[in-house]
Amino acid sequence: MSGSHDLPDEIILEIVEFATPIYPLTGNRIGYEELRNLRLVSKRFHDLLSPLLFSTLRLRFRDPNFSESETAAADYIRSQGIVKALATGTTTVFLHTKRLYLDTTILLPLEDKKDILSTRTFVSDNIYNAICGLKNLRTVNWFSNLTPDTVELGTKINHALGTLSSFQGFEDLHFDSSLTFHPRPSFTLKSFTNLTIFRIHWEWRRPKHLIREIASLLSRCPELTEFSLRYCPSSQRKHITLREIFAEIGHLERPWKLQKLELKSVEISPDDFRAYIHHLKHLTFLQILKCPSPRAATACGGIWNILQQRDIAQIRGRI
């Protein structure tokens, strides 16, 4: 009787991907442990399944004393070990990694948490070489708190990502809402060009420097297909406008083929939307939430009319 080893590689992979799907909300692969055990069956299975097992990498630096969970402690140690292995080049399995989930929010300068201070120093010393070792990385979900003490770490991460020719963009660049700090002027997006996806989310303060950085970045991304900006202001008087965000896209040699646009708490008028409509002709998804304009309902109605006039009203989303 023939066994699984007699099946073509394509059939085995199709069966495995069907049996261990990726949960869309978290990016976790269901049946990960079973897949890891199957990889140990033979060299053929090792070679076939390694790209699936290591396609996503999670680095979460959680203080084991912060949680009594054994998982938190194991995660804490595992993440440091992976960073060290990548930085020193002692592993090649992460050449299969295409998506990175990076959480540096716990690396705060707490006086009574010497272990966290030690970990922050370790990560800062090794993170640049570690990320440079992810040669085929495409996207990042990064949860950060850019305090004055951790901005150097953020700068190193950005510079490393900027060296990767495979890097396509941020699926989520999220600044922690529990802090009142905002990105310092030393934090820059100048390392990046030609991104195809850029999604950013922050709360509380209106970071003027970061808005200028975003506007400049967009002008360097002619192939951008997905853009999302979500902002939860601490004051209704501190608005971000579409004109500020799109201030420099006029420098592009040709219009975008943007397919997905999401804006939250961004002031936008029909005139603003019309001014950039040549960049939005390929939209398939549009979401405008909590528009701070005093005439938001009228503005959204005007935007919908513009879409209809341009024959691009067959889109999904919410305005």
Least Cα distance to 184 among 229, 149, 219, 228 occurs for 149
Identity of the amino acid at 86? L
Q: Which two structure tokens, joined as six digits, stand for 232?
A: 């939860």
| pLDDT given at position 83 | 95
Measured from the Cβ of residue 25, the count of other Cβ atoms closer than 10 Å reads: 6
Distance, in Å, from the CA atom of 284 to the CA atom of 242, rounded to the nearest integer, reads 19
Q: Which helix (H) or strand (E) holds 263?
A: strand 260-264
pLDDT value, residue 5? 65
Q: What's the pLDDT at 318? A: 63
The kind and range of the H/E element at 124 are helix 114-132
Half-sphere exposure (Cβ direction) of 202: Cα atoms closer than 13 Å: 21
The letter for the amino acid at 43 is K
What's the pLDDT score for residue 180? 47
From CA 102, how far away is CA 59, in angstroms rounded?
A: 5
The tens digit of pLDDT for each residue in 193-233 reads 999 999 999 876 656 788 899 999 999 999 999 999 998 76
Secondary structure letter of residue 10 according to DSSP: H
CA-CA distance, 85 to 57, in Å (whole number)?
A: 13
Measure the CA–CA gap between 82 and 191, rounded to whole angstroms.
24
Phi, psi (degrees; rounded to nearest 5) at 104: -115, 15
Q: Give CA separation, 241 vs 155, 219, 229, 246, 247, in Å.
A: 27, 17, 11, 9, 10
CB atoms within 10 A of CB 219: 16
Mark the ranges of the chain whose per-residue pLDDT is less than 70. 1-5, 24-27, 62-73, 106-116, 146-149, 177-186, 204-207, 233-238, 313-319
